[in-house]
Amino acid sequence: MQNYTKEHLSLYVFIAVILITGVVFGAVMVNALTLEQKQEIGRHLGSFLQSVDQGLSEGNRDTFFAGLLMHWKWVLLIWIFGLSVIGLPLILVLDFLKGVLIGFTVGYMIGQYSWKGMLFALAGVVPQNMIVLPVIVVCSVTAMSFSLDMIKQRFWQRSGTVVPPFMRYSLTTAVMAMLLIAASIYEAFLSPAVLKWVSPMLTVAQAG
């Protein structure tokens, strides 16, 4: 494990920097929104808050499976891109986009509602992403490592079989995908209850 960590530490740092850059970029994007765009987002947010207050977004199996499928699609894309050299840049693009989405969401909430927006982000965005982001980092590093190993084996070593590395790569991705079940459980069953407690504060702020 120590040898693995040392060998791939640079990749972990690199992927983490890509994600952080995406988060910062997403937060900065909020400042580039026009007034009309902010009003449109505000209307959608208002509808969501109203549904939360009325209990329409309370946890159910459909919400759980929809969220889990979305997370799994993201991991599946990373796994597919890791199978070829061409996919390496696309893995970085996916990581950057994930960071942008999170940064934009949190940045908008804080920019519009100050500390109340921060509270909303802490309740509805941060908890599940404490699972999702590490999973994406591990999957991305594993995918890039597998792809680079295949390049070395093909052009330099010219020996060995691809089956054991592929099985380790696929198994690691599958284990990480299973961890996303916890994130989807929070999104579907715990987050609505927490947001129902927070949403009245945002509703008042939005009305003001």
Please state the domain extents for the chain. 2-207
88: exposed, middle or buried (Cβ count in 10 Å: 0-12, 13-18, 19+): middle
Cα dihedral 129, 133, 134, 135 sign: positive
Q: What is the pLDDT of residues 96-135, one digit of tens each?
A: 999 999 999 899 888 877 777 788 888 888 899 999 999 9
pLDDT (0 to 100) of residue 203:
56
Mean pLDDT lowest among 90-99, 127-136, 138-147, 191-200: 191-200
Average pLDDT over residues 2-22: 85
